[in-house]
Amino acid sequence: MLKVAVAQIAPVWLNRVATLEKVVSKITEAGEEKCQLVVFGEALVPGYPFWVEHTEGAIFDSDLQKDLYAHYVDQAVDVVRGDLDAVCKAAKDGHIAVYLGIVERAQDRADSLYCSLVYIDAHGEIQSVHRKVMPTYEERLVWSIGDGNGLQVHELGPFKVGGLNCWENWMPMARASLYAQGENLHVAVWPGNYRNVYDLIPVIAKESRSYVIAASGVWNAADIPDDLPHANLLKERMKGTLANGGSCVAKPDGSWLIEPVTDREDLFYTELDHQMVRKERLLLNVSGHYSRPDVFQLELNQERQNPLKKKNPDT
């Protein structure tokens, strides 16, 4: 059995340090409950770019958008700099693995921003940073297009766990790339809305015959901090609940282990029985006996994409 926690929390919006403090607190709490994995929502640190949709984000050369973007870059997570050190320490101290959604400021891409899903093992070591391969719709105004480097699975007790960001979970080949690596525990992270999970999560579970954890955030525009650039305008334009949660867990047969929960911050606990995966895969195993590699093959490029490729002049 694997005990897991789903952390449905709100960011301290666009404040990296304060949001990371909340994350560390929840990791510690889940560790004290003897969980082996805790999962947080998409772009939780420092928060989802809700303003783009509500402030005419596509207007070219807008001073408003430049100000907000510059603040977003400043508050984004620089993994190389060590912004996640406290998270890694909490994971190590609690002997618990962590999946955490961040907005990553990438040193290797001149500080461009990526919607990234970070896996930290129970030793406190970062094992993968998956940059969302295709941001959705208006997200592309602030987030860059990622690559396949982080499309990896990780050993976790009897399971192999992998994860995708938000609408990547609708991408058949992204899912298949994880299935083919032996994934049997799938993590789907979202900024937070019930409508995103209620139909898709059971489908992924039935397709993969895996457990599926969906971790979502919650957030209300009433929590816009006063010290943000253009805070008064944001408060005028953005109203009510923008992320209502929907965190849930589905069994390998598609039934609910935890039904979608909305409109509250909390840690949700459950235990996963690996034997159920094996039982359900008698009927369907999409990367095993039910696959046809002589007919269908998927090529995965896991190289980290960078515009500069250096050549040694002496070779």
Q: What share of the chain is helix, strand, coil (3-state, %, to 5)?
A: 30, 25, 45
42 is a catalytic site residue = yes
Q: Is 115 a catalytic residue?
A: no
Contact call for residues 131 and 114 (beta carbons, < 8 A): yes
Contacts of residue 207, defined as CB under 8 A and 6 or more positions apart, other chains included, come to 175, 284, 286
Unique residue bearing structure tokens 């994350």: 23
d(CA 257, CA 276): 12
Which phi and psi (to 5°) does residue 3 adopt?
Answer: -90, 130
Backbone angles phi, psi at 223, to 5 degrees: -95, 15
Catalytically annotated residue among 35, 88, 115, 166: 166
d(CA 169, CA 72): 25
Cα(8)–Cα(15) distance, rounded to whole angstroms? 18
> Is-catalytic flag, 34?
no
* Rounded Cα distance, 33 and 22, in Å: 17
With H, G, I as helix, E, B as strand and everything else as coil, classify residue 135: coil
Q: What is the DSSP letter of 76?
A: S
Which distant-in-sequence residues (6+ apart) come within 8 Å of 75 by Cβ? 14, 15, 16, 46, 103
Peptide bond between residue 293 and the one before it cis (omega within 30 degrees of 0): no
Q: Which residue among 22, 26, 104, 132 is the active-site one? A: 132
Question: Distance between CA atoms of 147 and 204, rounded to whole angstroms?
Answer: 22
Residue 263: Cβ-neighbour burial (10 angstroms; 0-12, 13-18, 19+): middle
**Selected catalytic residue, list 42, 104, 168, 183:** 42
Dihedral-angle region of residue 13 (phi above 0 means left; psi in -120 to 50 means alpha; beta otherwise): beta
> Would strands 154-156 and 126-131 be described as parallel, antiparallel, or unpaired?
unpaired
Q: Give catalytic residues, as residue numbers.
A: 42, 132, 166
